[in-house]
Chain A
Amino acid sequence: MARIVVITSGKGGVGKTTTAAAVGMGLALLGHRTVVVDFDVGLRNLDLIMGCERRVVYDFINVIQGDAKLNQALIRDKRCDKLYILPASQTRDKDALTKDGVGQVLDELKRHHDYVICDSPAGIEHGAMMAMYYADDAIVVTNPEVSSVRDADRMLGILSSKSRRAETDVEPITEYLLLTRYSPERVNRGEMLSIADVQEILSLPMIGVIPESQAVLNASNAGIPVILDQQSDAGRAYQDTVSRYLGGELPMRFIDAKKGFLGRIFGGA
């Protein structure tokens, strides 16, 4: 049975789209038929991060409104044939994402894919509500700072009360916490919350910690999901995250401060 996975946060700019692209690619590389759906109507940047912006002809809202068939709007990834993207519209108004329309498109996607990844817009407005409503699993993305953690907390509350699973009283959405843009050095200097702090406030299992990394910026400028950059710390942290999502138990990597020059010579702490 296919699963719908929402990547959500409440706050903007925390790394949702980066995560949706990485997790989508990661699942597809492991052979799972995967589609990433962009719910960020008006901004539309998933296709940029996936490097397929020039191939967008029809979009999600065209499909909802019946102007295009789903397979006309789906874009197949050039690097991995298990991966598809359903782009958002850049112009139309957000209310075009109707609950029924979204439900129908997701149902159809579930028939042909194993994972449907929904990249949520920021906020708790209509678009974000539509992205999470039908979810089976949620990856809640947060940065190690107070306002982002608080927004994640609020979003978790909404997931447990306003989703279809909550409304129909079936098994609740499975929630995972992903901490991104983590900088051990800044944590040590007391400028950011630690992993333990974030976990304590949100009391959820942590599915991954993605370090703050130049590789993410380079990858998104090049239109390549960072998970394909196997040399980078962020790429490998996303690979671990995908493995954990699929049930693997791996220790967290890249969570300790890099040792300075003396530290490297003398080793230890």
Chain B
Amino acid sequence: MTASQILPAQAAKQALEIKAATFSLPLIRLLDNALDQLALQVEEKIAQAPDLFLHTPVVIDLSGLPEDQEIGSFPELVGVLRAVGMMPIGLRGGNALQQQAAKAMELAILSETRPRAKPEQRHEEQEPPAAAIEAAAAMPSIEVGSKVIAHPVRSGQKVYTAGGDLTVIGPVNSGAELMADGNIHVYGPLRGRVFAGIKGNEQARIFCQHLHAELIAIAGQYRVSENIPSELKGARVQIFLDQETLKIERF
């Protein structure tokens, strides 16, 4: 007898579906066992791009440490990462004790796979001059999709969208920074710095209603304000890459 024969028809509605999906996640690979050093360096990285890792699932990788090397307490390590907003979800590598500690904290134990080959490194001089960009470029994409921000992005604030588009409804002020793996849309004056296709996606575009940007960049090709033609200042434009050169076009 199957389930549908026992249950009344309306209760037999399908409640779930199991499918395979692939996610690539940032790997926090420990190169040394000193937790206090780790905490400091994590905080430094976060300070460069506060939103980059906020609520981001990460995998802890201990395979770079010798088998017998202890890393203080494993829960403490998880605590360090959570304190800066990351969400550790699994462990790769590590000895039996460390894996046991991970299981006790309900982290998944992930099998050892060869790390994917790094995307080809682009020329140094093509890189936009921002430390945050390097941090973002070094990370694998996380499929977290797009983000919409409905408030002003102010001087000193940085917003990064991994694996999708970033849309801002409101002004992006001078001294603010937008970064996205995909396109960037700004419905409001754009006065800050914008980096679309930050991990090398040359198809990414920037759309804005009033162009006053300090810097625009797509896939590492960039232009600063003084190299933006003055007749395009304040205009509604789209910015895209054509044969590795940035094109700014009214639309």
Contacts and interface: CB of A to CB of B under 8 A. Distances in A.
Contact of A154 (B50, B156, B171): B156
B24 interface: no
Interface in A153-175: 153-154, 156-158, 160-161
A154 B153 CA distance: 10
A161 B157 contact: yes
28 contacts: A150-B155, A150-B175, A153-B154, A153-B155, A153-B173, A153-B174, A154-B155, A154-B156, A154-B175, A156-B152, A157-B153, A157-B155, A157-B156, A157-B157, A157-B176, A160-B154, A161-B50, A161-B157, A200-B171, A200-B189, A201-B171, A201-B173, A201-B191, A202-B152, A203-B152, A203-B170, A203-B171, A203-B188
A156 B152 CA distance: 10
A148 to B, nearest CB: 12
Contacts of A160: 151, 154
Given A154-B175, A201-B171, A201-B191, 17 more contacts: A150-B174, A153-B154, A153-B155, A153-B173, A153-B174, A153-B175, A156-B152, A157-B154, A157-B155, A157-B157, A157-B176, A160-B151, A160-B154, A201-B173, A202-B152, A203-B171, A203-B188
Interface residues of A, number: 12
Interface string B145-189: 000000111111100000000000011011110000000000011
Contacts of A201: 171, 173, 191
B-side interface mostly? loop
A107 to B, nearest CB: 25
Interface of A: 150, 153-154, 156-158, 160-161, 200-203
Contacts of A161: 50, 157
Contacts of B188: 203
A266 B191 CA distance: 43
B2 to A, nearest CB: 47
Contacts of A202: 152
A225 B207 CA distance: 49
A243 to B, nearest CB: 26
Contacts, number: 36
Contacts of A203: 152, 170-171, 188
Contacts of A156: 152, 154
Contacts of B155: 150, 153-154, 157
Q: Which 6 A-B pairs have the closest CB atoms?
A: A157-B154, A154-B155, A153-B155, A157-B157, A154-B156, A153-B154
A202 B155 CA distance: 10
Contacts of B176: 157
B174 to A, nearest CB: 6
Contacts of A157: 153-157, 176
Contacts of B156: 154, 157-158
Nearest to A157: B154
A29 B106 CA distance: 59
A154 B192 CA distance: 12
Nearest to A10: B155
A200 to B, nearest CB: 8
Contacts of B154: 153-154, 156-157, 160
A156 B175 CA distance: 13
Contacts of A153: 154-155, 173-175
A202 B157 CA distance: 14
Nearest to B50: A161
Nearest to B153: A157
A154 B188 CA distance: 18
A172 to B, nearest CB: 9
Query: Max chain A CB contacts within 10 Å: which of B155, B170, B175?
Result: B155
Nearest to B152: A203
Contacts of B171: 200-201, 203
Contacts of B191: 201
Nearest to A159: B154
A108 B21 CA distance: 54
B220 to A, nearest CB: 26
A175 B39 CA distance: 34
Nearest to B171: A203
Interface in B41-96: 50
Contacts of B173: 150, 153, 201
A156 to B, nearest CB: 5
B119 to A, nearest CB: 31
B24 to A, nearest CB: 28
A201 B212 CA distance: 12
B86 to A, nearest CB: 16
Contacts of B175: 150, 153-154
